[in-house]
Chain A
Amino acid sequence: MLRKVLFAAAAAMALSVGSAAVAPVSAATLRYANQGDLKSLDPYTLNETTTNAHLGNVYEGLTKRDKDLKIIPGLAESWEIVEPTRWRFHLRKGVKFANGEDFTADDVLFSADRVRAQGSNFQTRVPKDAKFVKVDDYTVDVVLATPNPILHYQWDTWYIMSKKWAEANNATQPTPASAATPSYASLNANGTGPFKIESHQPGVKTVFKPNPGWWGKPEHNLTEVIFTPINSDSTRVAALLSGEVDIIEPVPLQDIQRVNQSQNAQVLTGPELRTIFLGMDQSRDELLESNVKGKNPFKDKRVREAFYKAIDVEAIKSRVMRGLSTPSALMIAPELFALSKDFTRPKADPEAAKKLLAEAGYPNGFEVGMDCPTDRYVNDGPICQAVVGMLARVGVKVNLNAQPKAQYFAKVLKPNGYKTSFYLLGWTPGTLDSHNVLYDIMGCRDDATARGETNLGGYCNKQLDALTDKILVETDADKRNQMIKQAFQIGIDDYGYIPLHQQSLAWGVAKNVKVVQRADNQVLLYWIRKD
């Protein structure tokens, strides 16, 4: 008897402790954890997915993107191209900033200046020479130097700020990293969006509340959102499994099964827009890290083709990515290019690769160094290790230099002189358009313009560049797509790059929460419902 009573008491205690530990929150409080911090609330400080997503709940652009990434009206109700170099934007009326001020054309003009100012990381959102002209309080004309059919493609994340608020708080300029005084706009936000920020402690916690004065009709049913950055993978997963948070991003690949087997959460996966690829130094006359002296093997197309054929992306998908990747034939995600299904990736063929190497004069292969980040993309380090193994089978000895992203990017990017021979990189075109890839990644490097600036291997084909320039100004969608297809085909025929795959999104979501997973990996609160 006594034992029974004791047991009951212990059980009751355990229960009471248990129920108290999971804090009693009302149904519509959403707790969300991300690997990344929300560092600054200034919408022009850092152009990075997580930051843009967070601020997209609070601020809005002239355009928005819907659940399928299609461009829809935002703060601009409609727009038209009056003449090829003059766009007219009709602004939404009756929109108020969170502090109650009216949104007008002055705010657009102000934001256009601020986003292009020193210290902004979004300077390329608006062409340097574009002039913004106020026609009336709710009409703005944008006058361009040259026609630009994709002018507004990135404007969903060019957030409009209030002129009066910025002036009143001495925040008319974005705060550069070298500033000597802290910035008001990095701790406070005043947008027109569906949420406002109640409190923000950088790197610790941010609380969002719905903005009652929002112009749209809310799809969400939330009354509060508590965001916490949780850097450690295992902690993030534990927090989801124990019911302390409702959404986590990302779920590490190795924990997906565990989350799906749990009672209270599941993992939403889907293809991400980022393309992971390998690049080869084709510009130097002798590779920096190789035993081949006096010449650069990657200048020989047969060597690049051999590398392409030696790498088995299907094996990487099944062995390294646990099935969660989409092998890619193109340097852009299929979602972003209408004609992408015209391309298929040839199967791996190590025998052909060996033959090609022999023809190129390397029957016994050669040695080359490879640079690889270890904390930037999903399983980036293991992918590189797999590549090393696959190339070893055709006789190429790869000396892998896997390092944290801070060191990796310091080594391989332009400021350090592109010091790499063979590397892995991931790229999402900021404009969600092929031109960005063709210009920035596949264009010939050119110091006078920004062309090819992230073309770390210096692949170059002038024909492709000529097409890229035409693509920029072509306003007929079909013609434009045909030209993009042609340009990509040139890159493929040259074996300029080795595209690997699109990695997968993996969001951990509690079973009573419904989210919209957009392929650009933005967790947007205004589509979330919680039962």
Chain B
Amino acid sequence: MLAFILRRIFQSIVVLLCVGVIAFALFRLVGDPVNQIVSIDTPYEQRMQIRKELGLDDPAIVQFGRYLAKAARFDFGISYQFRQPVASLIGERMPATLELTFVAALFSLVIGIPMGVFTALRRRSFLSGVFMTVSLIGVSLPTFLIAILLRYIFSVQLGWLPSFGRGQVVQLGWWSTGLLTASGLKALILPSITLGLFQMTLIMRLVRAEMLEVLRTDYIKFARARGLSDRAVHFGHALKNTLVPVITIAGLQLGSIIAFALITEYVFQWPGMGALFLGAVQNVDIPVMAAYLLLVSFIFVVVNLVVDVLYAVVDPRLRANLQAA
């Protein structure tokens, strides 16, 4: 097991380095940061001076090397726009993103799994038809459209839920949470539904398909023959065996929820890392972009690692394989 984890950590470092190289190669195409740092009527000499100070005239690989040397000491530089350390900017924004993604993921699992089980067990019922249709909408509609639709109904027309922001937050040390206030919880509803809807429908469809598969297997027939209750058969035996692929998908999706929360964050003006990143792209704020990309790839790597380990816990056969390897 330990060897396995070590090997994965080594692979992760390679992944992070690759992301860094690609990112720095792309930064040249984003535009000239100096234009965003100064106003348009700034004299040419000043602009050139700033370019020189920022080292923008050096080749991408030199800039990357310089960045790496600092990043290795956890110094991610100062944001061009805000003149604040990138680490503290991201640190301030991270709780917002993590809370949003956590609630969205929870929502997609808590709603998605029961819906999947239900539609598998009661294939012909009317409600199953409704669920399947809703899931089709969830899979096919783009996130921002769902967001605008939800907001139009629940904030503009009905006035029940806020249309932007996090509501009131409570500071617990460095972590700011919206989970402890009424307005904070209310502000979470629309963004987390928006963000989690696609995952929810994905999980529902996955659970349904797996469940149908498992229900046809011999051991389910034997379980029934032994006279076990429906409940024990469905949830004790069938559902448990559908969970391996569900964990994979849900785990991998968690990474992408965090990474792609940026659209939801943008639409709801959610003060998270994704919104920070989008602003950085618009303003060619290279230190923020670089740190965000590294962080996201790091999260992906960690999530993948955890998923692999969880596999082993859920499926004894894999455990044996790992030990052999």
Give the B-binding residues of A (Cβ under 8 A): 14, 17-18, 20-23, 37, 39-40, 42, 45-48, 118, 121, 123-124, 175-183, 186-187, 201-205, 228-232, 234-235, 238-239, 241-244, 375, 404-410, 413-416, 427, 430, 436, 440, 450, 453-454
Partner of B47, one of A17, A40, A405, A414: A414
Of A23, A47, A241, A406, the most chain B CB neighbours within 10 A belong to A406
Q: Are A179 and B268 in contact (CB under 8 A)?
A: no
How many A-B contacts if CB must be within 8 Å?
A: 178
A45's nearest neighbour on chain B, judged by CB, is B83
Within the assembled complex, what's the spacing in Å between the Cα atoms of A184 and B33?
23
User: Does B142 count as interface, using CB distance less than 8 angstroms?
Assistant: no
On chain A, the residues within 8 Å of B276 by CB distance are 203
Partner of B162, one of A21, A123, A183, A407: A21
Task: Report the minimal beta-carbon distance from B143 to chain A, rounded to whole angstroms.
Answer: 13
Task: Report the minimal beta-carbon distance from A390 to chain B, rounded to whole angstroms.
Answer: 26
Task: Report the minimal beta-carbon distance from A241 to chain B, rounded to whole angstroms.
Answer: 5
Within the assembled complex, what's the spacing in Å between the Cα atoms of A230 and B278?
13
Partner of A234, one of B46, B51, B83, B148: B148
Whether A244 contacts B266 in the complex (CB less than 8 A), given A47-B39, A235-B151, A450-B44, comes out as: no
On chain A, the residues within 8 Å of B33 by CB distance are 177
Sorted from nearest, which 3 A-B pairs have the closest CB atoms?
A: A406-B31, A410-B32, A178-B53
Partner of B80, one of A21, A177, A239: A177
Whether A20 contacts B182 in the complex (CB less than 8 A), given A177-B37, A415-B32, comes out as: yes
Q: Are B83 and A177 in contact (CB under 8 A)?
A: yes
Within the assembled complex, what's the spacing in Å between the Cα atoms of A118 and B38?
12
Task: Report the minimal beta-carbon distance from A420 to chain B, rounded to whole angstroms.
Answer: 14
Within the assembled complex, what's the spacing in Å between the Cα atoms of A235 and B155?
11
Within the assembled complex, what's the spacing in Å between the Cα atoms of A229 and B30?
23
On chain B, the residues within 8 Å of A450 by CB distance are 43-44
B43's nearest neighbour on chain A, judged by CB, is A450
User: Does B89 count as interface, using CB distance less than 8 angstroms?
Assistant: yes
Q: Are B269 and A231 in contact (CB under 8 A)?
A: yes
On chain A, the residues within 8 Å of B267 by CB distance are 232, 234-235
Within the assembled complex, what's the spacing in Å between the Cα atoms of A406 and B283?
7
What 1/0 flags go to B22-34 for Cβ under 8 Å of A?
A: 0000000111111
Q: Are A415 and B34 in contact (CB under 8 A)?
A: yes
A262's nearest neighbour on chain B, judged by CB, is B156
On chain A, the residues within 8 Å of B21 by CB distance are none
Q: Chain A contact residues: over half helix, strand or loop, or mixed?
A: loop
Q: Are A243 and B151 in contact (CB under 8 A)?
A: no
On chain B, the residues within 8 Å of A17 by CB distance are 160
Whether A244 contacts B35 in the complex (CB less than 8 A), given A203-B82, A204-B271, comes out as: no
On chain B, the residues within 8 Å of A46 by CB distance are 37-39
Task: Report the minimal beta-carbon distance from A255 to chain B, rounded to whole angstroms.
Answer: 12
User: Does B84 count as interface, using CB distance less than 8 angstroms?
Assistant: yes
Whether A454 contacts B82 in the complex (CB less than 8 A), given A231-B269, A244-B163, A413-B35, comes out as: no
B183's nearest neighbour on chain A, judged by CB, is A23
Q: Are A235 and B163 in contact (CB under 8 A)?
A: yes
Task: Report the minimal beta-carbon distance from B180 to chain A, rounded to whole angstroms.
Answer: 16
On chain A, the residues within 8 Å of B30 by CB distance are 406-407
User: Does B282 count as interface, using CB distance less than 8 angstroms?
Assistant: yes
Of B29, B38, B152, B161, the most chain A CB neighbours within 10 A belong to B38
On chain A, the residues within 8 Å of B268 by CB distance are 235
Partner of B84, one of A202, A230, A415, A430: A202
Within the assembled complex, what's the spacing in Å between the Cα atoms of A381 and B306?
46
Whether A18 contacts B44 in the complex (CB less than 8 A), given A177-B54, A410-B32, comes out as: no
Partner of B165, one of A40, A203, A228, A241: A228
User: Does B78 count as interface, using CB distance less than 8 angstroms?
Assistant: yes
B35's nearest neighbour on chain A, judged by CB, is A409
Task: Report the minimal beta-carbon distance from A114 to chain B, rounded to whole angstroms.
Answer: 15
On chain A, the residues within 8 Å of B35 by CB distance are 405-406, 409-410, 413
Q: Are B84 and A228 in contact (CB under 8 A)?
A: no
Of B159, B161, B162, B279, the most chain A CB neighbours within 10 A belong to B159
Q: Given A408-B31, A454-B40, 13 more contacts at CB 8 Å?
A: A20-B186, A21-B155, A21-B162, A37-B279, A40-B83, A46-B39, A47-B39, A178-B55, A182-B84, A186-B82, A414-B44, A416-B32, A427-B40
On chain B, the residues within 8 Å of A416 by CB distance are 32
Partner of B89, one of A20, A202, A230: A202
Whether A22 contacts B159 in the complex (CB less than 8 A), given A203-B271, A203-B279, A406-B31, comes out as: yes
A-B pairs with beta carbons under 8 Å apart, 12 shown: A18-B158, A18-B159, A40-B83, A118-B49, A182-B84, A186-B83, A202-B89, A232-B266, A242-B162, A244-B155, A404-B282, A450-B43
On chain A, the residues within 8 Å of B84 by CB distance are 182, 186-187, 202
Whether A238 contacts B266 in the complex (CB less than 8 A), given A187-B84, A202-B89, A453-B43, comes out as: no
On chain A, the residues within 8 Å of B183 by CB distance are 23
Task: Report the minimal beta-carbon distance from A250 to chain B, rounded to whole angstroms.
Answer: 16
Within the assembled complex, what's the spacing in Å between the Cα atoms of A231 and B280?
12
Q: Are A407 and B31 in contact (CB under 8 A)?
A: yes
Of B41, B53, B156, B162, the most chain A CB neighbours within 10 A belong to B41
Within the assembled complex, what's the spacing in Å between the Cα atoms of A453 and B31?
20
Chain B residues 270-286 with CB under 8 Å of chain A are 271, 275-276, 278-279, 282-284
Within the assembled complex, what's the spacing in Å between the Cα atoms of A23 and B167?
9
User: Does B164 count as interface, using CB distance less than 8 angstroms?
Assistant: yes
On chain A, the residues within 8 Å of B93 by CB distance are 204
Within the assembled complex, what's the spacing in Å between the Cα atoms of A45 and B80?
11
On chain A, the residues within 8 Å of B256 by CB distance are none
Q: Are B39 and A239 in contact (CB under 8 A)?
A: no
Within the assembled complex, what's the spacing in Å between the Cα atoms of A351 and B155?
53
Within the assembled complex, what's the spacing in Å between the Cα atoms of A239 and B155?
8
Task: Report the minimal beta-carbon distance from B307 to chain A, rounded to whole angstroms.
Answer: 33
On chain B, the residues within 8 Å of A23 by CB distance are 183
On chain A, the residues within 8 Å of B53 by CB distance are 176-178
Task: Report the minimal beta-carbon distance from A251 to chain B, rounded to whole angstroms.
Answer: 15
Of B34, B42, B158, the most chain A CB neighbours within 10 A belong to B42
On chain B, the residues within 8 Å of A453 by CB distance are 43-44
Within the assembled complex, what's the spacing in Å between the Cα atoms of A40 and B37?
11
Of A46, A228, A238, A416, the most chain B CB neighbours within 10 A belong to A238
Task: Report the minimal beta-carbon distance from A521 to chain B, rounded to whole angstroms.
Answer: 14
Q: Are A182 and B83 in contact (CB under 8 A)?
A: yes
Q: Are A124 and B156 in contact (CB under 8 A)?
A: no
Task: Report the minimal beta-carbon distance from A242 to chain B, rounded to whole angstroms.
Answer: 4
Task: Report the minimal beta-carbon distance from A321 to chain B, rounded to whole angstroms.
Answer: 22
Partner of A409, one of B32, B81, B269: B32
Q: Are A239 and B163 in contact (CB under 8 A)?
A: yes
Of B33, B37, B148, B266, the most chain A CB neighbours within 10 A belong to B37
Partner of B159, one of A45, A123, A242: A242
User: Does B92 count as interface, using CB distance less than 8 angstroms?
Assistant: yes
Q: Are A179 and B43 in contact (CB under 8 A)?
A: no
B278's nearest neighbour on chain A, judged by CB, is A231
User: Does B11 count as interface, using CB distance less than 8 angstroms?
Assistant: no
On chain A, the residues within 8 Å of B83 by CB distance are 39-40, 42, 45, 175, 177, 179, 182-183, 186
Partner of A179, one of B38, B55, B78: B78
Task: Report the minimal beta-carbon distance from B51 to chain A, rounded to whole angstroms.
Answer: 7
Of A23, A46, A183, A235, the most chain B CB neighbours within 10 A belong to A235
